[in-house]
Amino acid sequence: MTATRIARPATLAVVAAAALWIVAAVALWRTKVPGDLRLPSLDAGSVFGAGAVRAGERYERFFELEWVLATVVGIAALVVLVRRGPRLARSLGLGRVNAGIITGIVVTTVLWAVSLPFEIASSWWARRHGISRESWGSIVFSNWPALLGSAFGTFIVLAIILLFAKWLGQKWWIGAAAVILGLALGLQLVLPYVLRIGTHPVRSPTLAAEIQRLEDREHVGRPAVRIQPVHDETTAANAYAVGIGPSRSMFIWDTMLDGRFPRSEVRFVAAHELGHLARHHIWKGIAWGALIGFPLLAAVALVTGRRGGLRNPGTVPLALLTLTVVELAISPFTNLVSRRYEAEADWTALQATRDPAAARGLFKQFVKTDLQDPDTPGWVHVFLDDHPTALARIQQAEAWRSRNR
């Protein structure tokens, strides 16, 4: 078979895969938020108060600067490890797969070590502003489980990737991506059961009844609803939804129920999280993970292939550097997708509660209690914000009000 005959089927396969990717992405991109929705122009100072805006800006600027520094330091550490990776892998005297795994764990440990000062600085800043209630002992020792978790995750993922590299050569990313996708599905199924440890059901009969009415309005069935005690750790308020199939769960932090938020605002939070489940955002997130993950691992295979591929354990640091840089490069897009789904969950909550005043009060209170910047700078919004700004969420609530008078 000539090279031309070989190239034609390969080109057709690439074109077909790209077309399928676009079709899937377009389908996942759609939300229930009306495409012609026009948001009103609001001034952050007028909505939240100049003092709250300044407080949020001061608090968030620290984390934004810290993110920039931590990112630069982390990438610099990876660049150094890329240069020393081959020597490290050879010095281990192990087989290719085992040497690659150990090299990866060493890289993970180094990255944890260089990120530790930034983690401690974040905790100091949050404690200084009354957001964190953790003791210094808890802060210092809580980072060690994070290291163990990262090392274990690195072990699992690298074992999968390196074994497929051993079996399939440069096509390892196809099989590895499929297995990692399966692990992600399994994690979403199992994780909610683990998170329920130490939580309790909604104890207020009134709130429990209101949540059940919202479940009926949003046609979401009966997911588990749990209250998560966090008041000993933080004053911030939050809620989240997680899980697929029988493990679908909504967790509400007990700080949402400490009296700072009226019942109508708690109800809106519950409606928002139920909106994530009703609109299948967990499943859609997994689908996006597959759409992005396969090309991402293919890029890693391409870059490492120039140095012998991942059959050479010394290229593991290069693989991790490639992952880091590509993930940073595509973060504006992944954040944009997340913001669309959060906006859709807000819209679903507005449709279920028909209470834009509760939405406005909730987002104003979040700015006050969590010291949020209600209108973040452009580059921060692009690279760091996976939620719409508080100002944009209030603008959407006002737009809903205008359409439903």
Residue pointed to by tokens 């057709």: 12
**Contact criterion met (CB below 8 Å) for 209 and 270:** no
**Band (16; pLDDT cuts 50, 70, 90):** confident
The stretches of 129-256 forming alpha helices (DSSP H) are: 136-168, 172-195, 205-218
Q: Is the pLDDT of residue 354 over 70?
A: yes
Rounded Cα distance between 24 and 60, Å, is: 36
Q: Which two tokens stand for residue 161?
A: 């990737």
Alpha-carbon gap, residue 325 to 75, rounded angstroms = 8
How far is it, in rounded angstroms, from Cα 251 to Cα 35?
A: 30
* Res 8: pLDDT: 64
pLDDT band at 48 (very low <50, low <70, confident <90, very high): very high
**Partners of residue 201 on adjacent β-strands:** 226
Q: Are the beta carbons of 162 and 99 closer than 8 angstroms?
A: no
Strand partners, 253: 228
CA distance 320 to 176: 15
CA distances from 263 to 204, 210, 359 (A): 11, 10, 12
Per cent of the chain over pLDDT 90 is 78
- Reported confidence tier of residue 335, pLDDT bands at 50, 70, 90: very high
The secondary structure of residue 171, as a DSSP letter, is G
In the prediction, which pLDDT does 3 show?
Answer: 52
Query: What Å distances lie between residue 340 and 31, 241, 285, 386, 396, CA to CA?
Result: 7, 16, 12, 9, 12
pLDDT at 307 over 80: yes
The reported pTM is 0.92
The CA–CA distances, whole Å, from 162 to 103, 104, 179 equal: 12, 11, 12
Query: If pLDDT is split at 50, 70 and 90, which confidence band does 4 have?
Result: low
Mean pLDDT, residues 324-352 taken together: 97
Burial 246-268 (b: 16+ CB within 10 A, else e): ebbbbbbbebbbeeebeeebbbb
